[in-house]
Amino acid sequence: MPKLALFYVPCKDEDETLHLSKLLLDKKLVACTNSMPIKSCYFWQGNIENDTEQVLIAKTLTEKTKKVTRFLEQYHSYDTPCIAFWEIDINEEYFEWVKSQV
C-alpha cells in the first residue's frame, strides 16, 4: 500500500484551522484537511489548564512533511505549536488523488 503523511495540529479555534487550511491548500502543500473540536488539558506556566481547541488534520505526500512543518511553525498562532505527523498506509485510489492535488 502507498503511504501518506497525516498531520495532527491543535489550534486555538475553528477560524485558525480554516485559515491554515486555506493557506496550505493554496500553496499545494496538502490535498485535504479536516477539523474538529477537542478538549485539551496541559501544563502552562505551572498550572494545569483545561481548554477547548480545534484540531487540524491534514493529508499530504510524505515528501512534503518538512515543508508543511516549516509552514505551520511560521503561521501557527501558538508560541510552541504541536505539529505531529504519521506515515499511514492508504488505498491506491486516494493516494493517486492526493498526488494529483499537491
Instruction: Specify the pLDDT at position 86.
Output: 98
Instruction: Specify the pLDDT at position 5.
Output: 98
Instruction: Specify the pLDDT at position 44.
Output: 87
Write out residues in the chain with pLDDT < 50, as ranges: none
**Any idea where the domains of the chain sit in the sequence?**
3-101
CA distance 76 to 20: 8
Instruction: Specify the pLDDT at position 27.
Output: 98
Q: What is the pLDDT of residues 56-79, one digit of tens each?
A: 999 999 999 999 999 999 999 999
Q: List, edge to edge, every strand of the sheet that includes 47-60.
A: 32-44, 47-60, 3-11, 84-89
- List, in order, residues 6 or more apart from 38 with CB less than 8 Å away: 10, 52, 53, 54, 55
Which cell goes with 41? Answer: 488539558
User: Taking the CB of residue 33, how many other CB atoms lie within 10 A of it?
Assistant: 19
Identify the CATH number of the domain defined by range 3-101: 3.30.70.120
